[in-house]
Structure 1
Amino acid sequence: MVFPGWEVTRLIPQDVIGGLLTGQYKLYGGVIRWAAGTPNAGQIVAHLLPAGSQMLNLVPGLNFIPGIITSIQLTKLSDQVGILSQTTQQVLQVATGTAVLSGLGLAVSCIGFLAINKKLETIDSKLKDIQKDVKAIQQFLESGERARLFAALDSLLKLDKIPDEHRHTILHNARQTLTEINMRYRELLPNATTIETAMAYEEYFTLTALAQVRCTAELGMLDVAQHEIKEANQIWQTQGQRVAKEILLGEYPERFLASDFVDSVSVSELIEWLDFANAESKRYVWIDDLRRKLDEPWYAKGWVPIMHGGSGLNKNVGIGLEKEQSMVMPSLRKLVARSNVFEGYTAQYDLMVAQNLTPSVFEQRMTVIPESSKVGDYYILEPAKVPAEQAVSTKRRPFLASLGGR
């Protein structure tokens, strides 16, 4: 067994598929867990780990609608084996789509230093395009802080070529630099008031946090890394929800029910956005809330902004349909997907702590799993089944204890 307590399977069990459909379980990036509010909330049901060194370092914002309920129709599948095989593939497709939207990989091991460096280079290029309009970004690009960040990542990229006796020093120094820079963005992100600054600061906070935590883990301080990823996740969730609610959805979230958006934003996706932004799972009740504000199309042609208070459609208030589609909607999709991926990372660090494995050793263990165990580009891990006789023995223990051990 490569990972004690876990076994590799080629199918997601039917009861897990059913749990995903009913809301008993939820897919968080590459981890299936019991959903909040259920008896075993947070307990891990399965890990979906990308096979090999796959890095989903893709640009977020593609028109992918997360949501397993809309993509799996169990009633249309007759053969049970076919059901398990097809639905397993569909769950993995949803997981992959989440990774694409988030701009991150599904596994901690996929967010290695090379992936982080490439992602930052891409972001850096985009920031230069808007620096004239955003003074804070211009100041960052001209600061020594940026140079220190890339110098730290450059040293981490050379770890494989550095003798073991110097590896600890490189990791320690890089971790210190990344921690300092991450603290800077931890301070900047809550004060961001525009889409450009909010999304730029969020990106730098996220990537420096992930790189810092990985340094900590590679140094063998797994308990500290576990604490750091949970803290980073908590900060990210709070700020991601604030950005989504205050800056992206804004004062008039009901505009997304207007005909302007009918072909680009489904009701199920809008619900995902509202659940995330408000940190409250109200699902379709949100639509009833928005219906109380409705009138007709939002950006209607030929209309002049109506100068009165209250809400309602036909007001032509906002940044315009083009920017909604090119900036607001991709940003909301990325934040919702990234929220799930971040939750998945915390679960994966819990697994590494339990297995006492650093991320690099965890990757090495993955290479031992036979190719025949792959499902598409993934390995599926589920808790190892307890032998029947052991299960019976475990069930008897409380009764025997009540009899004084007889």
Structure 2
Amino acid sequence: MVFPGWELTRAIPSDVIIGLLSGQYKLYGGVIRWAAGTENAGQIVRHLVPAGAQLLNFVPGLNFIPGIVNSLQMSELKDVVKSNTVQLTQLSSQVGSLSQSTHQVLQFATGAAALSGLGLVISCVGFVAINNKLNAIDSKLKDIQKDVQAIQQFLASSERGKLFAALDSLLKLDKTPVEHRHTILHNARQTLTEINMRYRELLSSATTIEPAMAYEEYFVLTALAQIRCTAELGMLDVAQHEIQEANGIWQTQGRRIAKEILVGEYPERFLASDFVNSVSVSEFVEWLDFANEEVKGYVWVDDLRRKLDEAWYAKSWLPMMNGGSGLNKNIGIGLEKEQTMVMPALRKLIARSNVFEGYVAQYDLLVAQNLTPSKFEQKMVALPQSSVVEGYFILEPVSAPVEQVEQAPPKRFPFQRPLRPR
């Protein structure tokens, strides 16, 4: 066993695949668990842990900030979206093949990691990875600070200096004498908590795409760094509470950004032919489910058709007199920016939502096992490479064996008469 109650397996069985397809289970980043509203909601069914270098300090992702993503990244992003769509389609037709189904799920998880810009496990989001990612984002933000005043003010804020100073001390933690590590973790945690509160305020007040997505990045990374400090200090119950709180705040703000800033007042525009090759209807309704925090699926399309009020047979020979809102409004930021800013941001938020939910489940696991993230890393690194399946360790929960005990005859109270057969 990897640790009590868990063991390695080399495949995802067909009943789990069917559960994913039926909605009984859901894949949250690297965690397959019972879906909300089911009898065992939240319970982990499988844990997918990236093996090797990915586990330590590599955080996948495109470092996407709308407006400054380059053409190469856009191409990669489109490939990931297309790949995930294909994987999901193939999954539904490959339930009979265990190895093929396992492959599809692992590839889908990898796609979620790339789209979210985060790792699939808590341990991936180590201090080195967070520092590297923030530096990459920082350099990109400087490219647009002249055009976006809010970004310029953000880059000049004193919090950023404190943030990188705290991360610098954490990067040297392994070289620090053991007796001083507690102090460094404690001081960094306090600094990161204060900074994260500031980014929370900025995130909740953002009303345009570029600042909103920049603040979102900094909020997430500072929250994860602060929570990891808490966990490494051994305060696992507190860390569990903090990740639940951070996830709740992120979900609220992520959905607000999606609904108010990205999807906006005219969601029906994505039904137009401009987007037919870049946004599938299934992806579109997923955006609406997320933004509105209401799972309606394809019913959204019917709702928008009623809103459009576009009759096939015109009631008047002049389109403007038909009374419909019409698809050809030509309102918004333009097709190019829709494709390079709005759509990638929506895809990232939805993927990040699932990964964040996965982190909550993982901290529950760490609490149950009484493991810090670094101890969890050590256990994963020590696992045999022969157990790796396409770059992943697949962990399966094992039920404790039920002891066979001899059943005693039922007790009978003095006033209870024995039952007589009729």
Q: TM-score, normalised by structure 2?
A: 0.86
Aligned length, in residue pairs: 384
2:89 maps to 70
1:201 to 189, 206, 215: 215
Instruction: Decide whether aligned partners of structure 1 residues 274 and 156 sit closer, same or farther in structure 2, where only a CA change above 3 A counts.
Output: same
Instruction: Decide whether aligned partners of structure 1 residues 291 and 403 sit closer, same or farther in structure 2, where only a CA change above 3 A counts.
Output: farther
Instruction: Decide whether aligned partners of structure 1 residues 307 and 252 sit closer, same or farther in structure 2, where only a CA change above 3 A counts.
Output: farther
1:300 maps to none
Corresponding letter in the other structure for 2:265: E
Which whole-Å CA distance do the structure 2 matches of 1:133 and 1:196 have between them? 10
Which secondary structure state, in structure 2, belongs to the residue aligned with residue 4 of structure 1? coil
Which secondary structure state, in structure 1, belongs to the residue aligned with residue 123 of structure 2? helix
Corresponding letter in the other structure for 1:326: T
Structure 1 stretches of at least 4 aligned residues deviating more than 6 Å after TM superposition: 306-310
Unaligned stretches of 5+ residues in structure 2: 65-73, 311-319, 413-422
1:207-222 alignment runs, 5 A limit: 207-222=221-236
Instruction: Decide whether aligned partners of structure 1 residues 308 and 356 sit closer, same or farther in structure 2, where only a CA change above 3 A counts.
Output: farther
Which secondary structure state, in structure 2, belongs to the residue aligned with residue 47 of structure 1? strand
Task: Answer yes or no: is the 8 Å Cα contact 1:57–1:119 preserved in 2.
Answer: no
Is 1:257 aligned with 2:257?
Answer: no
2:363 to 334, 345, 349: 349
Corresponding letter in the other structure for 1:43: Q
Is 1:121 aligned with 2:135?
Answer: yes
Task: Answer yes or no: is the 8 Å Cα contact 1:51–1:379 preserved in 2.
Answer: yes
Q: Deviations over 1:202-260 (max 9, x none)?
A: 11100000000001101111111000000000000000000000000000111111110
Identity %: 74
Unaligned stretches of 5+ residues in structure 1: 297-305
Which whole-Å CA distance do the structure 1 matches of 2:39 and 2:145 have between them? 49
1:101 maps to 115
Which whole-Å CA distance do the structure 1 matches of 2:40 and 2:239 have between them? 25
Corresponding letter in the other structure for 2:332: G
1:9 maps to 9
Instruction: Decide whether aligned partners of structure 1 residues 72 and 121 sit closer, same or farther in structure 2, where only a CA change above 3 A counts.
Output: same
1:1-150 alignment runs, 5 A limit: 1-54=1-54, 55-59=58-62, 60=64, 62-63=77-78, 64-65=80-81, 66=84, 69-74=88-93, 83-150=97-164
Which secondary structure state, in structure 2, belongs to the residue aligned with residue 169 of structure 1? helix
- Point out the more displaced range, 166-175 or 326-335: 166-175
Task: Answer yes or no: is the 8 Å Cα contact 1:295–1:313 preserved in 2.
Answer: no
2:326 maps to 312
Q: TM-score, normalised by structure 1?
A: 0.90
2:373 to 359, 362, 374: 359
- Structure 1 or 2, whichever has the larger Rg, is 2
Instruction: Decide whether aligned partners of structure 1 residues 185 and 226 sit closer, same or farther in structure 2, where only a CA change above 3 A counts.
Output: same
Name the Cα RMSD after superposition: 2.2
2:203 maps to 189
Which whole-Å CA distance do the structure 2 matches of 1:402 and 1:310 have between them? 74
Deviation for aligned residue 1:311 = 3.7
2:252 maps to 238
Deviation for aligned residue 1:135 = 2.2
Deviation for aligned residue 1:392 = 6.0
Corresponding letter in the other structure for 2:91: I
